Structure 1
């Protein structure tokens, strides 16, 4: 029994939600795998096996616990933070690349052979790309089965399965029941949504997070940046809703996320309520992943706060806002353009080049223009950036190498270090960026992006005018 496994077992014994999604444990005598905070009876140590991913547990023949729903935990913060091949691969798989392009497409994006990618992932996380994608498809299928009234056959293909038989076999293997049986076990809240008439009501989601979540500063930032036509923030502080349009691989969509965090069971994290309207349900996995990046829901606030809270300058800010997040983006290429143009310039681009939705959703009427359209119509730094995004000279997708992308950005005429830092922080999700002009010492590594967000949030609070809309 290794010391590392001893630590994990203690987390299971104490039902420590800080480790939900960071690893999973399985019980040999029951054939079930769980999240560390599972409220079931603590198993004997000799009967416990540990896995880095749900896919690895499933690959060893274990079924998902119906009580703690281990497939619904936040993703591991490690994969978003890591800049190596495995971290990039995990981000691409989460974005649905294997479902859309297969393992060869994943390998090509990473610059390795399919065999090398298989070997590295299996060594690091205990499962290859096919198994990881299969686990993700199973989770998507459960959401659709339990929150929509769609026929089972339609759900099978919407979830990314190649056949109904493959879908049925996977559901039985992962959840130990049939698709109809899984639908029947839906929580009361999801059954109510289903009866309400989805998809008219949208697909309801619980976007889980670990630890505390400071929603107010995130929604303050989104409100200050919202571009009419593609985004809006409505409602009073504390009860706001953020809505935006999404360009997705198979179609388009609109998303709504509520500000008020919901508390989970004692000692766990919580979630943000969200709704999705999609023109093609195959985009569910990708759209969820993009919302999670936008709201930084896979972060590990315990690790961030422990490091930054030890600094005298940051300690009072961390104490005042535990769990402050560093927001990302739902569309990296859009974010890069907006880093240059600002809000007013982005609104001009939407009016001039944005594609109208086939069915507008209230004030949401357009998609942000694609880089190719901007490259054809704009010149200067903006035109150069758009052209580089369109032809792949600059990559900002989840599998991009952050260092290479930063170098490519800085090589563009007129694009400075400040704009590159914004793009690296938010479009590439880099947790350790020190923008020029900010005093961000190495002692804040690897969380300098979060330290800067603390400083700017505090600065915004002090500069805000008094009144009901002042930042908390």
Structure 2
């Protein structure tokens, strides 16, 4: 928790670490900004501070045209918190209010709409409708300034119920008409290369280690569903995958940083091809979760750097992220496939399931041909077609049935403890699988897997005892960021194995 004097000092120093954590509104101008706004610092007496852009908009302030406060990364607090407010914010980000209304949001969370309104307003200064409205406005601005879509199409693609509602919101938030907002943007606007194709930037705070992210995703990429390929710029790689979305499907591409890019440059280039533009908000939200873009790497690195064991790792790889996933049901299936087998073997099994039970795209897009099979499709699969041990087959079918029926939920609004209990009650689902899903599907930043072979190898590579009991005790020093410590250990294990292979190769006769 920080007080207003600390917030003002952050504004005075233009500290980008606080972008998205709070917003500064200036009474004399009627404008709100991100803390790092390059404009002249306002007097303290003229400043008010709000926890969300929606709260500032609700108080009558307009978004600054210079720093674009509505486009900053989300607060890391809402990304990781497991309470009602954190879960509600993640569901709103996924577009639930636009699709199901406040009643649908409240029902998913198990609260009344009135209770939910009260809780969100108390902590965020805005209720679910205001938060969703702010998100729609930001999506509309993005479409206006990056595409040639007609204004009417932009309105409905952004989630507005009517053109009038769209026009009124844009005027209130940006003090401009939609047409003026588009015209003023300058030379960055461009038409999509094909129908439904959009180019955008995914903002992040602090540093980011895209090499780690792309290595992690490439190792696990399911053939036909995802791939890592050479990027458009020299020395870069691009992650590509298919997306199953509420209104249709899509293909996403996210570029890693180039060797000469600063890790703190602030955004990743992304391209989306959508069959229905109403899925834009949901697709962006899920990609942000996949790449952990709302994290606070400074807080993570500061904590891990305080431990002599991980301090060199944190210094060598600043901004290391803990990847999430775009589809928790897909991840759950793949986690079961990965039980007691290598990553490569799990990837092969997942590829076979995708080929047999996945949905083919209307046309292949590079190496992408399939949508990963749904839990319902796998629950109805013939057990004889599942080439795996009987115990794992039973675990997979039981998990898919529970997910398809809603007996176990893994959506962004689920209570982590309830989800974990529901998973553990299923046959063949143990602590490793539950922990892995908490970390990647439920964005839990404090998961540790002491029995994981990669963790044990990583600890030994760093000179520590890899025994599970010792590892669990050792991990206490890394709370509440043990999920990030896990990735450092996996990285250390991989580097150690590579070093051993290189050494063995050098010993071989010419």
TM class by shorter chain equals over 0.9
Q: Which moved more, 1:74-83 or 1:371-380?
A: 371-380
Measured after TM superposition, the shift of residue 187 of structure 1 is: 4.6
Match of 1:221 in 2: 216
Match of 2:459 in 1: none
Match of 1:416 in 2: 430
Matched, 1:385 2:399: yes
**How does 1:30-45 map onto structure 2 within 5 Å?**
30-45=29-44
Q: Provide the C-alpha distance between the structure 2 equivalents of 1:113 and 1:263, rounded to a whole number of angstroms.
A: 51
**How does 1:38-437 map onto structure 2 within 5 Å?**
38-188=37-187, 190-191=188-189, 193-194=190-191, 197-200=192-195, 202-235=197-230, 238-260=235-257, 269-341=265-337, 342-377=346-381, 378=383, 379-437=393-451
Cα 1:155–1:108 change in 2 (3 A) is same
Match of 2:18 in 1: 19
Q: Provide the C-alpha distance between the structure 2 equivalents of 1:433 and 1:261, rounded to a whole number of angstroms.
A: 31
Contact 2:227 2:241 in 1 (8 A): yes
Measured after TM superposition, the shift of residue 415 of structure 1 is: 1.3
Match of 1:470 in 2: none
Q: Which moved more, 1:403-412 or 1:430-439?
A: 430-439
Off by >6 Å, runs of 4+ in structure 1: 261-264
Question: How does the TM-score come out when normalised to structure 1?
Answer: 0.94
Contact 1:261 1:270 in 2 (8 A): no
Measured after TM superposition, the shift of residue 269 of structure 1 is: 4.8
Q: Which moved more, 1:131-140 or 1:356-365?
A: 356-365
Contact 2:196 2:275 in 1 (8 A): no
Matched, 1:452 2:456: no
Deviations 1:181-238 (A, max 9, x none): 11112252x32x33xx444582111111100100001100111011111111112895
For 1:336, what is the secondary structure of its paired residue? Answer: helix
Contact 1:213 1:261 in 2 (8 A): no
Contact 2:210 2:257 in 1 (8 A): yes
Match of 2:389 in 1: none
Contact 1:148 1:199 in 2 (8 A): no
Contact 2:235 2:259 in 1 (8 A): no
Q: Which has the higher contact order (CA 8 A, sep 6+)?
A: 1
Matched, 1:461 2:492: no
For 2:362, what is the secondary structure of its paired residue? Answer: strand
Measured after TM superposition, the shift of residue 270 of structure 1 is: 1.0
What 5-or-longer segments of structure 1 have no aligned partner? 468-472
Deviations 1:111-167 (A, max 9, x none): 000000000000000000000000000011011111111110111111110110000
For 2:3, what is the secondary structure of its paired residue? Answer: helix
Q: Provide the C-alpha distance between the structure 1 equivalents of 2:100 and 2:336, rounded to a whole number of angstroms.
A: 31
Q: Which moved more, 1:267-276 or 1:219-228?
A: 267-276
**Greater C-alpha radius of gyration:** 2
Cα 1:267–1:18 change in 2 (3 A) is farther
Cα 1:267–1:204 change in 2 (3 A) is closer
Count of matched residue positions in the alignment of Structure 1 and Structure 2? 461
For 1:464, what is the secondary structure of its paired residue? Answer: helix
Q: Provide the C-alpha distance between the structure 2 equivalents of 1:86 and 1:329, rounded to a whole number of angstroms.
A: 21
Measured after TM superposition, the shift of residue 436 of structure 1 is: 3.2
Q: Provide the C-alpha distance between the structure 2 equivalents of 1:184 and 1:308, rounded to a whole number of angstroms.
A: 47
Deviations 1:219-277 (A, max 9, x none): 0011101111111111289511110000000000000000116999x996511100000
> What RMSD in Å do the two structures reach over aligned CA positions?
1.9
Measured after TM superposition, the shift of residue 462 of structure 1 is: 2.0
Q: Provide the C-alpha distance between the structure 1 equivalents of 2:55 and 2:408, rounded to a whole number of angstroms.
A: 34
Q: Provide the C-alpha distance between the structure 1 equivalents of 2:159 and 2:433, rounded to a whole number of angstroms.
A: 37
Cα 1:362–1:385 change in 2 (3 A) is same
